[in-house]
Amino acid sequence: MRDTGRLSSDEYEKAVKELLKIRIRKAGSFEAGYFTDWIRQKVVSVVGEEEFLNGGFTVKTTLDWSLQKKAESAISVGVKEIDRRQGFQGPLRNINSVEEIKEADLATRKQIYEEGSDFLLLLEDGETAYEYTIDETEIEKIDNFKEAIAKDIDSDLLIPGYYPQDRAVPLIKVEKSYQAIVSLVQDNQKIIYLSIGGVSGFIPYEGFKWAHPRKISEETSSESFISRPSEAVKSGDVIWVTIKEAKKKVWDYLDSPTRSTMKDPRLASAMKTQLFIKCDLDQDAKVQSALVAMDPHTGDILSLVGGTDFEKSQFNRAVQSLRQPGSSFKPFIYAAALENGHTPASILVDTPEALVGVDDTLNWKPSNYDGEFKGRITLRRAIEESRNVPTIRLASEVGMRKVQAMSERFGLKVSLANDLSAALGSFGITLLDLVTAYSIFPNGGNRIWPKAIISVTDKTGKSWSVDEVSSTPSPAPSPIPPSPIPAEGLSFTAGLGGNQVYDPRLAHLMVNLMRGVIQNGTGQRARGLGPQVAGKTGTTNNHVDAWFIGYSPAVTVGVWAGFDDNTTLGYGETGAKTTLPMWMEYMREALKRYPDKDFVVPEGIVNVLIDEQTGKLAGTTSGPAFLEAFVEGTEPGGTQPGKDQEVSPQEVPSMPSDDDYFNQQ
């Protein structure tokens, strides 16, 4: 270009001295990792590994990307909250010597520079260098800046802030985690001072108060707050921190009594002007969680998260893990009870005597969490409060063989032993199967099959069979033998067949009952989402698994949490406390994407005002009244009343409405 006159001599000299820049291709995370890998496996199982790698396939899926991001965020935040309740795992290590600290800081600074670089420089010797590299003169300027401040104000209450011209500061990413070294622990200030690659940071009280000693017990809660930072860390500790904000002043996080101890005006002035990066104490959470969301009418999977971090573990807990559902299985017991003659107003017995001699399969003594009983309660209150003894009683009356048959109809891939403990979820099931089965209720008793793939085409335009890849094909319609209700002759199974696996009227009753779980029972924390959401909490023995499965008219969502090794999550970690918050966070966004509408009410439903204590028609002398839904003819006073258990009332202590593990064997 110089020879042809397109470059001047000056431009030529400048160009040859300029280093070539090679743009770095950033290593991004695997988007929707668990879902994407699941789809990949399904496609490979049909087309073959070699064809998949070379065939230029385009796969269109059902995933809703905005909801998928919300699902991953909800799981990430929720797991961190669980992990913090369990306590601080402790520092990664402790380093004391000046040389070790300097080496650790330089290693972190190198990481910050490499991650912050957009390109590599091609050097004259053929080697490459990152856009940002450590400069010894820069380190010297940082050290001189901090030494000058420390020398000017000789006080152990002051830690110098970061060097304002430090190139690392704008490269440190908010909400990203870094290793940091504890520089100083100030109990009076309730501040932990840090060095993040030589950049000054701090953790205020709100960011570390959760760091009590880690102790996970199924018998007692260890959840508490510490009062001093020295209870958690000491100088030289290497810890994980999450960056919250830059350009923060420690002074703004000191209480009035602490500020008043700073008599030296120069000290106070320095505290008000020095800049730091504000952080939270962090750690690598050990607990796992999964989420599945689907359209209950089509089976389209809208979101799927199989764990907390796909890069660390590819085991998909949404579709591969068999976990005990605990109380989240109870709706199917109550669904079977409705099909066999009970109504929402049927009176159940919550007493130890209610289980005496029910049958010879009862080889353990189930109880409610605190060992207390409520006596006579309606079926509605039993499911709303997740009472164990009435559930066992129902399972005994209906019979586990009928519950097994209904489970098969609903598509649950479980084999229930002829043992009443199965009524409380003492078997393994996948989250995907449970969410699919729950979808039958908002779908009017119609069974659907999970669908993840819309189309698969290769580079030649050839289409591959979606049915082979994405879902289980529907069975041919087949009649279900009638199951008449004793004495009344009304059958809720006579008209069923094919995908219609549950009576639409009973499906509406189940929706209505499970709305009550959120409005009045163990899921009350979600009441703010509105009246058009329903669901059920689930907690297994010793708090090993926590669940919440619920739905709106348009979306069914299930969340599970637990440890891979089946150890306890800790006392009090119930479905209501552990997984319901994650479910709520996701459902808020889902309700925006798929706005509220009413559940469809089928023909043959009547609403009757009943006494919520006795289940009988409300009268002038009744207690609190409640408008309850019934299948026409089964309401109190109707021509075909539902089952009731006439037993003598018992005055028993009331227990809190909480969903906890199912027995004390």
- Where does a domain end: 282, 316, 349? 282
Strand partners, 203: 192
Tokens of 457: 């085409």
Provide mean pLDDT across the span 607-624: 85
> Which of 255, 282, 309 is at the close of a domain?
282
Residues 519 and 375 in one domain: yes
The whole-number pLDDT of residue 633 equals 92
d(CA 382, CA 389): 9
User: Which DSSP string do the residues of 557-585 spell out, in sequence order?
Assistant: EEEEEE-TT-----TT--HHHHTHHHHHH
Neighbours of 477 (CB within 10 A): 10
Q: Where does the pLDDT of residue 486 fall: very low under 50, low under 70, confident under 90, or very high at 90 and above?
A: very low
User: Quick check: 616 and 602 in contact, CB under 8 A?
Assistant: no
pTM, to two decimals: 0.88
Residues 544 and 615 in one domain: yes
Which residue, among 153, 191, 163, has the nearest Cα to 268 in the 3D structure?
153
Q: How far is CA 489 from the centre of its chain?
A: 45
| Domain final residue pick, 238, 267, 282 | 282
Q: Confirm whether 58 is domain-assigned.
A: no
Average pLDDT, rounded, for the chain? 87
- Domain span at residue 591 reads 288-631
- Answer whether residue 51 is part of any domain: no
Verify that 491 and 615 share a domain, yes or no: yes
Q: Amino acid identity of 48?
A: G
Question: Is residue 146 domain-shared with residue 204, that is, in the same domain?
Answer: yes
Q: Could you please report the per-residue DSSP string of 411-471?
A: T------SSGGGGGT-S-B-HHHHHHHHTTTTTTTB----B-EEEEE-TT--EE-HHHHH-
Judge whether 641 lies within some domain.
no
Residue 311 and residue 207 share a domain:
no
Is residue 347 domain-shared with residue 224, that is, in the same domain?
A: no
DSSP alpha helix (H) spans, 48-91? 49-54, 65-86
Same-domain check for residues 539 and 614: yes
pLDDT, one tens digit per residue, over 262-306 is 877 877 888 889 999 999 999 999 999 999 999 999 999 999 999
User: Is-contact 497 353, C-beta < 8 A?
Assistant: no
- pLDDT tens digits, residue range 70-121? 999 999 999 999 999 999 999 999 998 999 999 999 999 999 999 999 888 8
Residue 238, phi then psi, degrees to nearest 5 = -100, 125
Distances in Å between the Cα of 659 and the Cα atoms of 425, 542, 548 are 13, 12, 11
Q: pLDDT band for 621, please (50, 70, 90 cuts).
A: low
User: Is 60:301 a contact under the CB 8 Å cutoff?
Assistant: no
Tell me how far apart the alpha carbons of residues 337 and 638 are, in angstroms, rounded to a whole number: 19
pLDDT computed for residue 291 by the predictor: 98
d(CA 267, CA 269): 5
DSSP assignment letter at 482: P
The CATH number linked to 121 is 2.40.50.140
Q: What is the pLDDT of residue 597?
A: 81
Strand partners, 457: 58, 463
- What is the average pLDDT across 519-546? 95
Same domain, 231 and 374: no
435 by Cβ neighbours in 10 Å (0-12 / 13-18 / 19+) ranks as buried
CATH number of the domain that 322 lies in? 3.40.710.10
| One domain for residues 294 and 150 | no
Domain contains 252: yes
Tell me if 241 sits within 8 A of 234, measured CB to CB.
Answer: no
User: What b/e readout covers 359-394, taking b as 16+ CB neighbours within 10 angstroms?
Assistant: eeebeeebbbbeeebbbbbbbbbbbbbbbbbbbbbb
Same domain, 610 and 504: yes
Size of the chain in residues: 665
Q: How far is CA 225 from the centre of its chain?
A: 23
pLDDT digits (tens, 9 = 90+) for 577-588: 999 999 999 999
Q: Contact, 384 vs 521, CB < 8 A?
A: yes
Total domains in the fold of the chain: 2
Number of Cβ within a 10 Å radius of residue 240 = 17
Residue 16 lies in a domain: no
Tokens of 360: 């010879």
Q: Are residues 297 and 424 in the same domain?
A: yes
Distance separating alpha carbons of residues 337 and 344, to the nearest angstrom: 10
Integer Cα distance of 333 and 342 in angstroms: 11
Question: What is the C-alpha separation between 227 and 223, in angstroms, rounded?
Answer: 13
CA distances from 310 to 32, 51, 560, 655 (A): 9, 25, 16, 41
314 and 224 in one domain?
no
In a domain, 646, yes or no: no
Residue 52 resides in a domain = no
Determine, yes or no, domain membership for 17.
Answer: no
